[in-house]
């Protein structure tokens, strides 16, 4: 975009769309955006050199602001929808990281899958533990935690964590 009086408000010279895959996390998306950005920069420089680019004004009514992430942004609020939680976890991984509490200690959640399921929920309640991971109730279904990390340990499969840290069906994960 061209430079304007205020940040990121100038006319657009060139743009591209990048599909965000449901399995993308910050680092995988960042790598694809960097490659796309490099390609777009070369195209823009060529377009400026040959005077083939045409500036298009931005639609400021569709603009959004993305604030800088804070540690608090990683705290999991189990009463939210499963898909919203999964997207938030992907968005805060690796920093500041998604966290919850188990047995008075912080537990970092690395990899999850949302599962929609109607019915009454007790957000944060561990409903099932199986080979897929730990199934935690959310506002509208389950968040299956596949990979977690205790406060003073390494990343591990959530089912292995449950075995070694007394996480059982009926336990409740909570806010930090």
**Span 46-103, pLDDT tens digits:** 999 999 999 999 998 988 888 899 999 999 999 999 999 999 999 999 999 999 999 9
The pLDDT of residue 100 is 98
Instruction: Look at residue 44 and tell me if it is in a domain.
Output: yes
The pLDDT of residue 176 is 66
The pLDDT of residue 173 is 97
Instruction: For residue range 9-37, list pLDDT tens digits in order.
Output: 899 999 999 999 888 888 889 999 999 99
* Residue numbers of the domain that contains 76: 71-164
Does one domain contain both 86 and 152? yes
Give the span between the Cα atoms of 90 and 112, in whole angstroms: 9
Instruction: For residue range 135-155, list pLDDT tens digits in order.
Output: 999 999 999 999 999 998 999
Cis before 131 (ω within 30): no
Given a cut of 80, whether residue 120 has pLDDT beyond it is no
The pLDDT of residue 31 is 92
Does one domain contain both 52 and 7? yes
Beta-carbon contacts of 85 under 8 Å, excluding residues fewer than 6 positions away, are 76, 77, 78, 112, 114, 138, 143
The domain tally of the chain equals: 2
């Amino acid at each position: 975009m061209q430079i304007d009086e205020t940040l990121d408000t100038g006319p657009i010279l060139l743009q591209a769309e990048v599909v965000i895959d449901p399995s993308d996390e910050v680092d995988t998306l960042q790598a694809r955006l960097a490659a796309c950005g490099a390609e777009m920069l070369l195209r823009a420089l060529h377009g400026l050199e040959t005077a083939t680019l045409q500036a298009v004004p931005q639609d400021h009514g569709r603009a959004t602001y993305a604030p800088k992430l804070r540690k608090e942004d990683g705290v999991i609020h189990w009463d939210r929808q499963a898909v919203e939680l999964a997207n938030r976890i992907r968005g805060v991984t690796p920093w500041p990281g998604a966290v919850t509490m188990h047995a008075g200690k912080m537990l970092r959640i690395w990899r999850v899958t949302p599962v929609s399921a109607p019915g009454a929920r007790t957000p944060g309640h561990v409903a099932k533990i199986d080979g897929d991971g730990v199934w935690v109730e959310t506002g509208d279904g389950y968040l299956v935690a596949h990979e977690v990390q205790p406060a003073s340990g390494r990343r591990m499969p959530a089912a292995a964590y449950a075995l070694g840290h007394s996480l059982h069906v009926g336990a409740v994960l909570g806010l930090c």
